[in-house]
Chain A
Amino acid sequence: MSGHSTYQPQSKVLQWLEKRLPIGGLVHSSFVVYPVPRNLNYLWTFGGILAFMLGVQIVTGIVLAMHYTPHVDLAFRSVEGIMRDVNYGWLLRYLHANGASMFFLAVYVHMFRGIYYGSYKEPREVLWILGVIIYLLMMATGFMGYVLVWGQMSFWAATVITNLFSAIPGVGDTIVTWLWGGYAVGNPTLNRFYSLHYLLPFVIAGVVVLHIWALHVVGQNNPTGIEPKSEKDTVAFTPYATAKDGFFLAAFVILYAWFVFYIPNFLGHADNYIPANPAVTPTHIVPEWYYLPFYAILRAIPDKLIGVIALGASIVILAFLPWLDTSRVRSARYRPLFRQFFWLFVIVCVGLGWLGSKPPEGIYVILARVFTIYYFAFFLVILPLLGIFEKTKPLPNSISESVLGAKA
């Protein structure tokens, strides 16, 4: 699927380089002549947005690390030092903190788009699984970054999440002690979280390279879910995809800037402006918004071990999606029943997010249980059966026919 390289450098220097390291040809074939389906909608710009956000997080993070002190007595003060005394430190920190939220927002759009248009189906299984791995790494990185602030919510989130491992029978407590580097969340925990928080983004960047590589082997899916058949079905990456990605990235950054400059603490928790205090437990311990659906699943189940298993399964199950969805039709456009179940799934995920922020009592627990059941049923019951029983709509013969037919 990679574009045939027609790259012929004009300058002598580039010709010299090309004979020794054909990097110009690689860039040219991957980001210039690379053919993309002509009918991609704006949901397909989120891959580029995610790459941009990863870059922003790494750049702002590296500068923040120059001013941060990973010590239980100094961490909170050093973050406030960044906010007060480092030139534009407040900007760097708000860019980084809200950048994490924007990163997750974009990844959720990216994932829901993948599910809606069946982008994980043959031959894109590996592409999808690499995406799930990136998402898992993002969750670990985001969580550890939140702990570094060493406010009340940082400390107690670290305590709650690491304690989940104590549910493992037999070795649970030993594992937790090993994770903490002591008998409670303390300085060794903060130090290793800092080390890993710096490391994991580069691991993410590595898996992103694999993700893009796999993408360029199998090519992009598109809203019809049928493969491009002729040159009429595709356009060149540059200028078409670059222009489209560029515009929507700029629009997305407006949203990002709105949060950074006007409501920078909206997505945070007020308790995290209280320095960590192991002696005082906050009334409600809640994770960042992007983990709330999984937190709701965890708390919906009364047994701790089963709750932890359900939490893990709710993420791992995504990796099996290519085989759980038995339908041969990719795009929800031609799957009327799937489309309804899909939107219900979106509502359930958002609902679980809301329930994750509520105390686990009364009606909230009952709703969380119903939603958790639907979450798993969507993958384990609905998707396998739909492939067998659903009557799909006829597919167009080609992408260009679908585009031109729609306009006629």
Chain B
Amino acid sequence: MKMQRTIIALALAGCVGSSIAPAVAQEHDTPTPPMLKWSFSGPFGRYDQGQLQRGFKIYKEVCAACHSIQMLAFRNLADPGGPGFSEAQAAAVAADYKIKDLDDKGEPTERPGRLADTFPPPFANELVAKAANGGVAPPDMSTLAKARTFERGFPWFVFDTITQYQEQGPDYIAALLNGYEEPPKGFQLPQGGHYNKYFPGHNIAMSPPLQAGQVTFDDGAPQTQEQYSKDISAFLMWAAEPHMVARKRIGLQVMIVLIVLAGLMYFTKKKVWHEVEKPREIARGQDPKKTAA
């Protein structure tokens, strides 16, 4: 039975490979991704600009060869709460890209990117992407960090409401990027597959993408695979949730207003109800305001 399930899982993974990338890692022999420390976790969390810039560099130099990020526009690089590029820097990034367009005679042409453009995909369409990647189209990365998770299980998911743990996505992606290893004895890895201990089913089509020293950082951050994995995961979290910093900032203001409001309402209610809740004192001719509430 278990053997059968494994075969089915493998066959499925072989057919659709990493493009399904199920959101929930359900295999019992899949380890739980380690919980990393993120600058953007918790009620006061904000993105680390340096980390987002490093992550963007990794995306541009490595991931972008196969993965599109079509919902991200060049102008987003200069948005508040993001990687902190200046508008001129973002425009310079955009100008490096060739955007397909029509000229004023209606003929197809290519022009340099502008701030308003979104990042052009590496492949013309999904079929080309599939054909170039062994039958599996690499997923678009715009919402990837929110589209990946792992099962927290009871009771942890209850505690998560209090601790505000919301970083399953980046934790999973970072773990996956560090999770390539030799397949265990007896594991039949299909042709073109790679063994990854965090990937559901363990057979991932993507070859190990990040090696130490591959991307040069000019801010002195270590150029290790672990650092790369973490930085790209942070970048993808920002790409998936670009207004998170504003959300948490406004959230704090809203919380303060609501708690003050609820407090005032509580004392209003107490005052209004005092005479109803202390009718005996009233009957005895006492002033209810002078008795204990």
Q: Is B one of A's binding partners?
A: yes
Interface of A is mostly: helix
A8 to B274, CA, bound (A): 28
Min C-beta distance of B27 to chain A, whole Å: 10
Whether A274 contacts B16 by the Cβ 8 Å rule is: no
Whether B250 contacts A91 by the Cβ 8 Å rule is: yes
B residues 2-52 touching A (CB-CB < 8 Å): 16, 19-20, 22-24, 26, 43
A residues 62-92 touching B (CB-CB < 8 Å): 77, 80, 83-84, 90-91
Min C-beta distance of A309 to chain B, whole Å: 30
Whether B148 contacts A243 by the Cβ 8 Å rule is: no
Residue from the list A91, A235, A404 in contact with B247, Cβ < 8 A:
A91
B142 within 8 A of A: yes
Question: Among the listed stretches A51-59, A111-119, A279-287, A299-307, which one makes contact with chain B, having 4 or more residues with CB under 8 Å of it?
Answer: A279-287
Residue from the list B23, B26, B43 in contact with A274, Cβ < 8 A:
B23
Of all chain B residues, which has the CB nearest A94?
A: B247
A residues 135-162 touching B (CB-CB < 8 Å): none
A282 to B160, CA, bound (A): 24
Min C-beta distance of A253 to chain B, whole Å: 6
Given contacts A270-B146, A270-B168, contact A261 B251 (CB under 8 A): yes
**What band does the interface of chain B fall in when counting residues whose beta carbon is under 8 Å from A?**
35 or more
B154 within 8 A of A: yes
B71 within 8 A of A: yes
Given contacts A244-B273, A266-B166, A280-B16, contact A274 B147 (CB under 8 A): yes
B residues within 8 A CB of A264?
Answer: 247
The contact string, 1 if C-beta is below 8 Å from chain B, for chain A 214-249, is: 000000000000000000000100011001101100
Q: How many residues of A contact B (CB 8 A)?
A: 42
A residues within 8 A CB of B259?
Answer: 254
Given contacts A243-B268, A243-B273, A254-B262, contact A263 B71 (CB under 8 A): no
Given contacts A244-B269, A247-B266, contact A283 B243 (CB under 8 A): no
A354 to B158, CA, bound (A): 12
B residues within 8 A CB of A171?
Answer: none
Whether B272 contacts A239 by the Cβ 8 Å rule is: yes
A211 to B54, CA, bound (A): 58
Having A243-B273, A266-B166, A283-B23, one finds 6 other A-B pairs with CB under 8 Å, namely: A262-B166, A270-B168, A271-B22, A274-B147, A280-B16, A283-B22
**Could you pull out 8 A-B pairs where Cβ atoms are within 8 angstroms?**
A90-B247, A91-B247, A240-B272, A270-B168, A271-B24, A274-B139, A280-B16, A283-B24
Instruction: Please provide the 8 A-B residue pairs with the shortest distance between their CB atoms, ordered closest to farther.
Output: A261-B251, A273-B147, A247-B265, A270-B23, A250-B262, A270-B149, A243-B269, A283-B22
